[in-house]
Amino acid sequence: MNLEQLNRIATAMVQPGKGILAADESSSTIKKRFDAIGVESTPENRRDYRELLFRSTDAMRNYISGVILYDETIRQSAKDGTPLVKLIEQAGSIPGIKVDTGAKPLPFCPGETVTEGLDGLRERLKEYYGLGARFAKWRAVIDIGRDIPSYTCIKANAHALARYAALCQEADIVPIVEPEVLMDGDHDIDRCAVVTEWVLKEVYQELYYNRVVLEGTVLKPNMVIAGKKCAKQASVEEVAEKTIMVLKRCVPAAVPGIAFLSGGQSDEEATAHLNAMNRIGGFPWKMTFSYGRALQAAPQKAWSGKPENVSAAQAAFSHRAKMNGLATLGQWKPELEKRAA
């Protein structure tokens, strides 16, 4: 393990002013996104769409530090034959790869899942490193509901995340550790805070037991937020304060940075919450974004599968990337959204 290299990459991934584009949608997920804009989900269309993102010079050079890819995408080449990984590197961004194989039902734990993908991971990581990946991602999913999450579910997912992270570091690949407490459901923000704290404490315990070096990792957590069906939604300030409170209780200062997932928040909500946290400040880690839908919904809609819409889609992507880049510095304002509109 080359710790100096891992730390350098992890630090570059969370540099102020930039964040991570999650373009690692599985084939089934991107099909849903394409269905919504009336585009057939073919390998060519998926490639064309991702190529337009990676060729968005303004966004990629100025506001995107890394890109999480799907297995299909890391092997694809642009229309002119340039590997998509090379486009990302040429823009000064770091290519990464999603390596889990998805959340599967957890035996004897109704309504709960465990993320799979450890079998053969050592060999896959070696191949992905050869294809240009310098970081990886593994997502654990924790749902809040009646009588859940169970300790069984939290423990199983934390252990799998730690095993994955150790294998990544062995392969000189930075692990993004992603324990996502879902915002589905009718729970309030305080219940989310309690569960998120429990999950993060277990995750860091398991990372320690599996000898993962924290300086070579990036955390990708949910924000502490009320469930979508909760009658009382918390203010932007409360989300920022409670998220920072939980992170300070759980995340060691050795971790270079935290790249939040958007988890079903609207584009502007995700930006406003990140901005509010960075305005509060006073924490030991860099706070940035690792958004998928919150960066891509606008460009997908603008593109709608038409070649003549590529520049409009790139402009929409650059705008969202810039807004979130400003949020990492605590410099975003709602007026900036209105001005662009």
Query: Which sequence positions are flagged as catalytic?
Result: 178, 220
- For residues 13 and 174, the answer to whether their CB atoms sit within 8 Å is yes
CA distances from 70 to 74, 126, 162, 217 (A): 6, 16, 21, 20
Strands (E), the chain: 19-23, 64-69, 94-98, 103-105, 113-115, 135-142, 174-181, 218-219, 257-260, 286-291
Phi-psi region of 117 (alpha: psi -120 to 50; beta: other; left: phi over 0): left
Cβ-contact 175, 196 below 8 angstroms: no
Q: CB of 144 within 8 A of CB of 187?
A: yes
Burial of 205 from C-beta contacts in 10 A (0-12 / 13-18 / 19+): middle
CB-based contacts of 75, cutoff 8 Å, min separation 6: 131
Closest C-alpha among 186, 250, 192 to residue 225: 192
User: Rounded distance, CA 126 to CA 229, Å?
Assistant: 43
